[in-house]
Amino acid sequence: MKSFLPACRLALATLMLGLLAGPARSAATVDVMVLGTYHFANPGLDLQNAQIDDVLVPRRQEELQAVADGLARFKPTRIAVEAQADTLPGRALPRYRQFRDGTLAPDRNEIVQIGYRLARQLGHADVIGVDAEGEFPFEGLEKFAQANGRGGDLQQMVDAIGARTRAFEQRARDGSVGQLLRSLNEPAAIAEDHGWYMQTLSYGRGSEQPGAHLLASWLSRNVAICARLVQSVKPGDRVLLLYGAGHLQPLRQCVRDMPGWRLVEPNDFLPR
């Protein structure tokens, strides 16, 4: 009996460690890290656009290299980014090859500064684009809000995004790129971003549902992005998907729901 009890305790401890570690990774598992980012050279396409300092200055370049070094520990076999590539063979982006060969002009875009930098560091032959066109029917939401005495409510929602944007700009003055990325990929920030879209469901009545239309359009674009990713990877791949942070919730959900895929948290690899 005395020799039996220690053996039982050892077996129980081994079982508990296995449960805590989660399901084992098989050779066919696809590990996907969805890394949400801010726009380093903002194209001005969002409702509110953050003004960020130049990422080409030496301080930011050092921080970006620290980000790449951290992400390299994930050992991605494929890097996918927010770029349209439906007409390109294998979805491979020609600009990455220019960057890899040293012929691309300096570019502040996060695709270049994170995605291309990491791919070159890891010796990848290609970076793929998986973006999809999408509709953002905000005008219909505005029209309904104004016609139904809710213009002020909608403006408060827009102002809330503005307040968050200004707060991010303030943090960016002193925070490193790694710290800023970590803040965007925290569960609370992801939930808050997605919560904004969910609030639009309160705008509508009967068959007129501009909020539902806006949310459905947003989700449809993200499902189309995920479809392009699914069609571009093979069993056993380790994928880093680099996208604007507003996309995090639907893209992460798509990864969670895809059979044989496993979601990897970027904050386990980003520098503090």
Round the average pLDDT of the chain to a whole number and report it: 90
pLDDT exceeds 90 at position 4? no
**With bands split at pLDDT 50, 70 and 90, how would you rate the model's confidence at 27?**
confident
Domain assignment present for 17 = no
21 domain-assigned: no
Mean pLDDT throughout 139-164?
97
Q: Does position 34 have pLDDT exceeding 60, yes or no?
A: yes
Range of the domain at 169: 26-268
Phi and psi torsions of 102, nearest 5°: 80, 20
Q: Is residue 241 part of a domain?
A: yes
Cβ density class 87-99: b for 16+ within 10 Å, e for less: eeeebebebbeeb
User: What's the number of domains the chain is made of?
Assistant: 1
| Sheet containing 238-244, strands listed edge to edge, beginning at the edge strand earlier in sequence | 128-129, 78-81, 238-244, 30-37, 261-264
Within a domain: 1: no
> Could you tell me the pLDDT band of residue 51, with boundaries at 50, 70 and 90?
low
Rounded to whole angstroms, the Cα distance separating 143 from 150 reads 10
Which tokens go with 52?
């960020």
Classify residue 46: in a domain, yes or no.
yes
CA distances from 215 to 64, 143, 201 (A): 33, 16, 8
Q: How far is residue 264 CA from its own chain's centroid?
A: 11
- Is residue 234 included in any domain, yes or no? yes
Token output for 230: 């699914």
Rounded distance, CA 92 to CA 130, Å? 10
Q: Is residue 3 part of a domain?
A: no
Average pLDDT on 65-91 reads: 98
* Gap between the Cα atoms of 159 and 13, Å rounded: 52
**pTM, full prediction:** 0.87
Q: pLDDT confidence of 42, banded at 50, 70, 90?
A: low
Instruction: Tell whether 211 is covered by a domain.
Output: yes
Inform me whether the pLDDT recorded for 13 exceeds 60. no
State whether the Cα torsion 235-91-249-122 is positive or negative: positive
Q: Is the pLDDT score of 16 beyond 70?
A: no
